[in-house]
A = this chain, B = another copy of it.
C-alpha cells in the first residue's frame, strides 16, 4: 500500500513548489506534478497546505532528573506533545549518575526512550570527567550512534566540568567525529552572584535574571569557543539567548572554528520583563540562561536570517507550576530551571518568523529540520523532502488562526508559556515514516512506535556535506 499526498505545496530549505508525493515503506519514493492513485492507495489531500519536513528538536529534557525534582514530561507525554507540535524526531539529553559509565547510562536512557511516539536519539551528558570517559567516546559513536555529547560550564558540583576537562573531552570528541554541545554560563560567577542576591534578601524570580547577566553567558561562550579552537573540535552552543554571546560565535566562525549556534523560541519572543510578573507568575519563566532584555531579540532573528544561527531547539525542560516551580516561591534559586517548548516551538517560529516577515519559509525549514539533521548526523534520512528521505512530514494550513492554550496542550503541564497567543497557521497532519501520527490536529500515533536514531559522525559541516 502506498500513500499519496496530493495538491500540496512542498517546502524544503531551498525550494517551494506544488507537487504530489508518493510514500512507500515509510520513505518518499517519488514526487510528481500529478499522481493518479491506485485503488488501495491511501490518499491525503493537501490542497491549500504546505508540506514541510518534520521538525527535529535536538534539545529536549524528557524524563530528566534535575535539581531537586525531575521534568514533568516523560517520553510518552513529551513525544505526544512533540508530535502535536510538528516534531518527528528528538534528541534528548541523558544524565549519568555519579560513577556511572556513559555506556551504562545510555542503556538506561534507550530503555526509557522505548515508549516514544516519535523517533528519538540521545546526547550523552558528561558531568564528571574520568579518563574512562575518553575511552567510551569512540564506542558511543561507532557502536551506539551517539555522535554528540554535552558539557556544562555551570551547575558546579552537579554538572559542571572545568576548562581542562572540557578541552580533553572536546579533543577526543573531535578525533572520533562527535560534536560537543555546550551549556555556556560561567557557573562560578553565577553561584556567587546568587549567594550575594539571597544574602540581600533578593529572592524573587526576577533576581534569577539579575544574577545571570549576559556577561556570564558571553564570557563562557567565548571560552568554550576558544577551547574548541585549541581542541580542533566541532562545538555547538546551545540556547544562545543574547546578542553578546551570539557575537562570540560569529567571531569564532570567522577565524575558522567549527562553531554552531542554537537559539530557542522563548528567547525570540519573550523577555526579561516576564520574570517580574507579580504573584510569582515570573516563576513560570525561569530557565537558564534567563530571558533577556527585549533588544536582544532582533539580533537573534537576524542571526537566523543570516545563517549565523544553525538551529532552533526547544530546550523543553518542563516543570509544573504548582508543586515544582513553586518550590522556589521564597527563593528563586530553588525554582527548577527550565521552560516547556516542544509543543509550540513550530507555531511560534512560524508565526513570529515567517508570518511576520522576519525569515523566509525556507529558512524556517532549515533551522527547524534541515540544519539539525545535518549537524547531528540524521541527514540524509531526516531533514528534507526528497526522494529517499523518510516520510516525516507536517501538513500545515497557513490560513487558519488558532490560540495557544494550556487547555488543549499535550504537555503534562498546568500552564503554557504562550497562553492566549493567537498564531497564524495550524498543523493538520503529521506523518512519521509515512504513518499518520497526528490527524486533524489530534495525536493518533501510538506510544512506543518511535525508533532509536543511530546517528552518523559529524563531518566538516560548513564545507562538503554529501549523502
**B460 with A19: CB separation less than 8 A:** no
**Chain A contact residues: helix, strand, loop or mixed:** mixed
**A32 with B33: CB separation less than 8 A:** no
A13, closest chain B residue (CB)? B14
Q: Which of A91-99, A273-281, A302-310, A439-447 contacts B (4 or more CB under 8 A)?
A: A302-310
**A19 with B386: CB separation less than 8 A:** yes
**B15 with A386: CB separation less than 8 A:** yes
A186, closest chain B residue (CB)? B163
Those of A174-191 within 8 Å (CB) of chain B: 186, 188-189, 191
**In the assembled complex, A462 has its CB within 8 A of some CB on chain B:** yes
Q: A14-B13, A215-B230 are in contact. Are A302 and B463 (CB under 8 A)?
A: no
**A387 with B32: CB separation less than 8 A:** yes
A32, closest chain B residue (CB)? B30
Interface string of A220-231 (1 = CB under 8 A from B): 001100110110
**In the assembled complex, A216 has its CB within 8 A of some CB on chain B:** yes
Identical copies in the complex: 4
Give the docked Cα–Cα distance between A215 and B227 (Å).
8
Q: A384-B14, A389-B17 are in contact. Are A462 and B360 (CB under 8 A)?
A: yes
A388: chain B residues at CB < 8 Å are 17-19, 33
A216: chain B residues at CB < 8 Å are 226, 230
How many A residues are at the interface, by size bracket?
35 or more
**In the assembled complex, A465 has its CB within 8 A of some CB on chain B:** yes
A253: chain B residues at CB < 8 Å are 306
Partner of A32, one of B29, B256, B460, B465: B29
Partner of A222, one of B191, B192, B219, B463: B219
Given contacts A22-B32, A29-B32, 4 further A-B contacts (CB under 8 A): A16-B466, A18-B467, A186-B226, A254-B302
Residues of A within 8 A of B (CB): 9-10, 12-19, 22, 29-34, 162-164, 167-168, 186, 188-189, 191-193, 213, 215-216, 218-219, 222-223, 226-227, 229-230, 253-254, 256, 302, 305-307, 354, 357-362, 366, 370, 380, 384, 386-389, 460, 462-467
| 7 closest residue pairs by CB, A with B | A30-B32, A163-B188, A19-B387, A164-B188, A219-B226, A13-B14, A307-B307
